[in-house]
Amino acid sequence: MFPAPSSLLAPSRAFRGPGLPINTTDSRPSMKIKHHSTLCFLATAFLSVASAPAYAAALGYTDTPMLPGGKWHVHDPNRSQPTVVKPGTPSTQKKSGKAPSDAVVLFDGTNLSKWRTGKGNASGWTVEDGTMVVPPKNTENGGDIWTRDEFGDCQVHIEWAAPTPPKGDSQERGNSGLFFFGIYELQILDSYENKTYPDGQAASIYGQQPPLANASRKPGDWQVYDIAFTAPRFKDGKVEQPAYITVFHNGILVQNHVAILGTSGHKTLASYKPHGAQGPLKLQDHNDPVRFRNIWVRPLKTIE
């Protein structure tokens, strides 16, 4: 990078000519000559810089080896530039953060318009103090809720808090769940000093894969899941590629590109049943008043 012209004219050490120190307080004749030489040098430098073509680093190369697939060179300048996304802001325990600019916001603390019941009705879950809460049993339009939008490969951010004071043990304490396609469960559970079967604790792939660590915060504290989900692919009625999931729980990697075995179930071995390329997300009503806030999704597409 070239410096701005104003910095070229400033009497800084960086742009003095060799052996041409600048001393603006010296009035001796020899110093005046040196001043004159210095100014000439700076003017010449400025003019030569101003008239030189703008410097531009190479945008890429096409004389490099081809990448697998035979479409792009290594460092190819002709590939699409990634979309510009304005990052969101992180949450604190007291204040909910903001979603990135390209996210589909599923709950921002105000209403449940993005959610429906199994029958397609408006959700009966409670909205209070900027949170959505699993309602008491038998609440009209309570029960599990699904997103009205459907998603395939996606990034999901969700914050939840287990009820406080805690009640119950094992699976009966702060139980909910986030289900991709409405059927693949990432478990939500109060796993703070609460033992249960490991493939059923918080951040487990329910009935299949325990998390790599128990990163649970205490009941009442906000907890965060950041998830990368790759939808399963089916061909001719069979699984061509399983779903994959990567999960960070409160910033800690707990599921690292785990292949999902299929539809989650209780005391059953998960297996796949073919479905479409997109499906809803589901939140589970397990009769515990788990709270949620700041839920958003970024549908993902593969960059060519």
Minimal distance in Å, beta carbon 177 to Mg ion?
3
CB of 264 to Mg ion, least distance (A): 9
Polymer length in residues for the chain: 304
DSSP state of 272: -
Q: Which of 184, 179, 255 is nearest to 213 (CA)?
A: 255
Gap between the Cα atoms of 111 and 107, Å rounded: 7
Tokens 């990567």 correspond to 246
Number of residues that bind Mg ion (CB under 5 A): 3
Comparison of 175 and 196: residue with beta carbon closer to Mg ion? 175
Show the binding pattern over residues 141-180: x = contacts Mg ion (CB under 5 A), - = does not: ----------------------------------x-x---
Residue 152 or residue 200: which is nearer to Mg ion going by CB?
A: 200
- Strand-strand pairing, 154-161 and 291-299: antiparallel
- Residue whose CB is less far from Mg ion, 196 or 284: 284
Distance of closest approach, residue 189 Cβ to Mg ion, in angstroms? 6
DSSP-assigned letters across all residues of 52-112: SPPP------SSSPBPTTSS-BTT-TTSPPPPP----B---SSS--B--TT-EEEE-SS--
Q: Which of residues 175-204 bind Mg ion (CB under 5 A)?
A: 175, 177
Task: Select 200 or 232, whichever has its Cβ closest to Mg ion.
Answer: 200
Binding window for Mg ion (CB under 5 A); candidates: 128-136, 232-240, 251-259, 284-292? 284-292
The neighbour count for residue 262, using CB atoms within 10 Å, is: 19
Cβ distance to Mg ion smaller for residue 134 or 258:
134
- State the minimum distance, in angstroms, from the CB of residue 171 to Mg ion: 8
Residue nearest to Mg ion (CB): 177
Stretch that binds Mg ion, among 48-56, 107-115, 218-226, 280-288 (CB under 5 A): 280-288
Contacts with Mg ion in 237-276 (CB under 5 A)? none
Q: Say how far apart CA 24 and CA 14 lie, in whole Å.
A: 16
Q: Which is nearer to Mg ion, 2 or 197 (CB)?
A: 197
User: To the nearest whole angstrom, how small is the minimum distance from the Cβ of residue 132 to Mg ion?
Assistant: 16
Instruction: Output 248 or 285, the one with its CB closest to Mg ion.
Output: 285
Restricting to residues 96-135, name those near Mg ion by CB under 5 A: none
Angle CA(112)–CA(175)–CA(139) in degrees, nearest 5?
45
Minimum CB–partner distance for residue 203 and Mg ion (Å):
11
- Determine the residue type at 25: T
Q: How far apart are CA 271 and CA 16, in angstroms?
A: 74
Q: What's the sign of the alpha-carbon dihedral 66, 69, 75, 80? A: positive
Q: Does the footprint of Mg ion cover residue 232 (CB under 5 A)?
A: no
Residue labelled with tokens 């410097």: 55
Cβ atoms 209, 197 nearer than 8 A: no
Q: In angstroms, what is the minimal distance from the CB of 279 to Mg ion? A: 18
Q: Which is nearer to Mg ion, 131 or 175 (CB)?
A: 175
**CB 177 within 8 Å of CB 248:** no
User: C-beta of 155: minimal distance to Mg ion in Å?
Assistant: 21
Contact residues for Mg ion, defined by CB under 5 A = 175, 177, 284
